Amino acid sequence: METMERDERKRPRARRSFTAEFKAEIVELCQRGDRSIGQVARDFDLTETAVVHGSARPNEIVALAATAG
């Protein structure tokens, strides 16, 4: 029984990395104000924590996106 319970738990997701452009898009969506941070996170299958930490330095993220590509 214990083995079954362990198998039913979610496995941790592999760590993902995101481009500067993607981060800039998330920041822009959050700054627009038409969606909550939670809604933006759900729309992109992110955690709210990832969105908040990624949005903590929006000027840096936007500057990186502008220089990338």
In the chain the domains, ranked by start, together with CATH numbers, are: 17-67 (1.10.10)
Query: What tens digit of pLDDT does each residue of 23-66 get?
Result: 888 888 888 889 988 999 999 999 888 887 776 565 655 555 55
Burial label for 61, CB within 10 Å (0-12, 13-18, 19+), is buried
**Distance from C-alpha of 16 to C-alpha of 44, rounded to nearest angstrom:** 13
Q: What percent of the chain has pLDDT over 90?
A: 12
According to the model, what pLDDT value does residue 27 have? 85
Q: How much is the pTM?
A: 0.60
For residue 36, give Cα distances in angstroms to 39, 40, 44, 65. Answer: 5, 6, 13, 22
Residue 9 tokens read as: 């738990």
